[in-house]
């Protein structure tokens, strides 16, 4: 499957949404995030993604990963692709130089990660989870743990995993039964974990598992959990891998998609107990775990963006080549490529517009994460943290929902051939379907948005987003452009609707909580649509200004104006269509008896 990174749109999104130019002026990035460096990083990543990773995608789907005893054999080409990724220093882009990182902005790393994910979603999961594990150790590990594990993990000489789920403990992590018992300077762990992505593989000399387990002697529930480092191979005194730890894969899950990614059932402590090292404090495992989880949630959102892009490119190529029927109204009998047919064009524009809105929104979240960590002013850091906190469930839920919807549209554009595996359209759909489920289902993201992010501060954070939108829309006045007029008009209508539903949610928070919980998902969808539309509105304004100044790529900027207008006119009206479902429309679902279903 061919893949060509959309470098123009990535550059534009990094500037208009991710704030890469402002980030480059921060002291921490002045020497690393120069315009030349950003361009070079994106360009070289595009080559590796398109020329090395993408050719492995289809064979990974067909061959899959295989378990051979204690070892997992990955599909042909996977190990070489990962090796080139590691040797090129791609895993180290955003991490501190003290651990061998390159100290580039996290938002730039997101753009690069999008390329790996578009090229081969199954393979990209390995570095994604490693990066989340690195963040947890960096934030909560001891100095000795950081010195021991981070340089090897940052360089991708070792990889990491995130292990939470058990058969009886999916969302309800308080039900975890895997237990770690103190044994001198370490713990011994016994238990089972399921759905462990890249829990075993043949890429590296060691795998560093981060495992959430119950601490022996602590009470039941969340307060009894700890986060532990459990290496595949216990380290020798010199830091090299030594004896194999008492942890092993016992089976691989048979999945709908992402076949190239080994999803393992892992057993701990079947013999003497797996040697484990506490990260942070006993009883604070959830706190440390959420560092990994929030990192991974935005990362999974970017996987949604990547799948939208890959499915769009695949469908567009097919639509340009597939000749079927005459053009509507043409009496000559000349058969044309299906891209000439209005319904196909509608589907392609829907895929294009939503992919670009999702990309901009995710990069915006990434830029806010960078500001929350590195802005010179504490006030700016705090404001950026609140904004990133709100955006995280939007990016995870909306972008992954769009991945499924757009992959389905791509399959529809292929017609009957889309249902045939040889075309490759079905793989995007099968691979995408896991994205709304893992790292917290999208229903959980909606609850997080409403019950934590909205109610925590009485709506101050989301009202701040609405105020920013209104301020930006005011700048559209006086610019003679039909495209901008359409964008501004529809965005204003959508913001008005969002303000009304936000007020309803806040008013019903205590008196009507159960019904409000049923409204959480459509509210999340509405806020995401408006936020995505806002990102495209800002881009349309930037494109208009660039055209007026006579600089840059006129074709790209005119296309951006058309795409933003399409989103505003054809997709954004869903936002105010959700107003009734949000404001009590799901009440019946929570009122009827169970046996009425």
Using CA of residue 200, residue 201, residue 202, residue 206, what is the dihedral sign? negative
Distance, CA of 423 to CA of 400 (rounded, Å):
23
E strands in 216-349:
225-231, 233-235, 241-244, 247-252, 263-268, 274-279, 323-326, 335-337
SS3 176: coil
Phi, psi of 490, deg, nearest 5: -70, -35
Q: How many CB atoms lie within 10 A of CB 142?
A: 13
**Residue 439 annotated in active site:** yes
Catalytic-role residue among 114, 138, 284, 439: 439
What does DSSP assign to residue 3?
A: -
Distance, CA of 510 to CA of 544 (rounded, Å):
45
Cβ atoms of 113 and 128 closer than 8 Å: yes
Distance, CA of 278 to CA of 406 (rounded, Å):
42
Distance, CA of 468 to CA of 349 (rounded, Å):
27
- The Cα-based distances of 445 to 173, 293, 566 in angstroms read 16, 12, 28
Distance, CA of 504 to CA of 491 (rounded, Å):
20
Nearest to 116, CA basis, from 342, 364, 309, 247: 309
- Reading the block at residue 233, the tokens are 């191979």
Q: How many CB atoms lie within 10 A of CB 81?
A: 25
Full DSSP string of 19-62: -HHHHHTSTTTTTT--HHHHHHHHHHHHHHIIIIIGGGHHHHHH
Nearest to 134, CA basis, from 108, 101, 160: 160
Beta carbons within 8 Å of 460's beta carbon, 6+ residues apart: none
Phi, psi of 500, deg, nearest 5: -70, -45
- E strand or H helix that includes residue 121: helix 121-140
Q: Given phi > 0 = left and psi -120 to 50 = alpha, else beta, which region is 208?
A: beta
* First-to-final CA distance of the chain: 43
SS3 522: helix
Distance, CA of 195 to CA of 569 (rounded, Å):
41
* Active-site residue list: 439
């Amino acid at each position: 499957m061919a893949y060509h990174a959309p470098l123009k749109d990535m550059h534009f999104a990094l500037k208009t949404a991710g704030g890469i130019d402002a980030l480059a002026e921060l002291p921490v990035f002045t020497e690393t995030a120069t315009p030349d460096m950003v361009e070079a990083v994106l360009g070289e990543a595009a080559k590796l993604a398109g020329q090395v990773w993408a050719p492995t995608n289809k064979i990974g789907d067909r061959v899959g990963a295989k378990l051979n005893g204690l070892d997992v054999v990955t599909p042909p080409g996977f190990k070489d692709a990962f090796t080139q990724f590691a040797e090129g220093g791609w895993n180290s882009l955003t991490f501190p130089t003290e651990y061998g990182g390159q100290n580039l902005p996290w938002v730039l790393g997101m753009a690069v990660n999008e390329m790996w994910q578009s090229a081969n979603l199954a393979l990209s999961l390995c570095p994604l989870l490693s990066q989340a594990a690195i963040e947890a150790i960096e934030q909560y590990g001891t100095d000795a743990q950081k010195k021991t594990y981070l340089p090897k993990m940052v360089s991708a000489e070792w990889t990491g995993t995130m292990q939470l789920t058990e058969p009886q403990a999916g969302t309800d992590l308080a039900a975890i039964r895997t237990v770690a018992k103190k044994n001198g300077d370490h713990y011994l762990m016994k238990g089972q974990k399921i759905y462990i992505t890249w829990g075993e593989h043949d890429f590296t000399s060691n795998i560093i598992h981060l495992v959430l387990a119950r601490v022996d002697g602590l009470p039941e529930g969340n307060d009894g959990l700890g986060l532990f480092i459990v290496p595949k191979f216990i380290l020798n005194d010199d830091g090299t891998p030594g004896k194999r730890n008492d942890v092993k894969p016992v089976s691989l899950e048979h999945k709908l998609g992402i076949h190239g990614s080994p999803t393992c059932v892992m057993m701990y402590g079947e013999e003497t107990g797996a040697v484990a090292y506490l990260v942070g404090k006993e009883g604070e495992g959830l706190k440390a775990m959420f560092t990994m989880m929030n990192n991974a949630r935005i990362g999974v959102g970017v996987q949604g963006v990547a799948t939208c892009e890959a499915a769009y490119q695949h469908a567009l190529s097919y639509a340009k080549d597939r000749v079927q029927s005459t053009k509507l109204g043409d009496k000559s009998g000349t058969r044309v490529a299906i891209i000439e047919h209005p319904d196909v064009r509608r589907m392609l524009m829907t895929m294009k517009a939503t992919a670009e809105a999702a990309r901009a929104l995710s990069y915006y979240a990434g830029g806010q994460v960078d500001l929350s960590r590195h802005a010179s002013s504490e006030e700016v850091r705090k404001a950026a943290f609140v904004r990133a906190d709100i955006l995280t469930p939007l990016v995870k839920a909306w972008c992954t929902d769009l991945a499924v919807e757009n992959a389905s549209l791509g399959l529809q554009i292929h017609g009957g051939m889309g249902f045939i595996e040889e075309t490759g359209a079905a793989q995007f759909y099968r691979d995408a379907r896991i994205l709304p489920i893992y790292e917290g289902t999208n229903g959980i993201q909606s609850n997080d948005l409403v019950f934590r992010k909205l109610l925590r501060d009485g709506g101050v954070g989301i009202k701040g987003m609405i105020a920013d939108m209104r301020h930006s829309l005011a700048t559209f006045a006086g610019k003679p452009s039909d495209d901008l007029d359409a964008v501004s008009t529809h965005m204003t209508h959508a913001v008005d609707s969002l303000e009304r539903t936000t007020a309803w949610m806040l008013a019903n928070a205590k008196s009507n909580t159960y019904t409000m919980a049923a409204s959480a998902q459509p509210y999340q969808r509405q806020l995401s649509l408006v936020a995505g539309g806002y990102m495209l509105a800002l881009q349309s304004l930037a494109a208009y200004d660039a055209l007026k100044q006579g600089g840059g790529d006129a074709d790209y900027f005119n296309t951006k104006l058309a795409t933003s207008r399409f989103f505003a006119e054809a997709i954004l009206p869903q936002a105010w269509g959700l107003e009734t479902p949000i404001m009590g429309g799901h009440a019946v679902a929570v009122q009827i008896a169970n046996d009425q279903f």
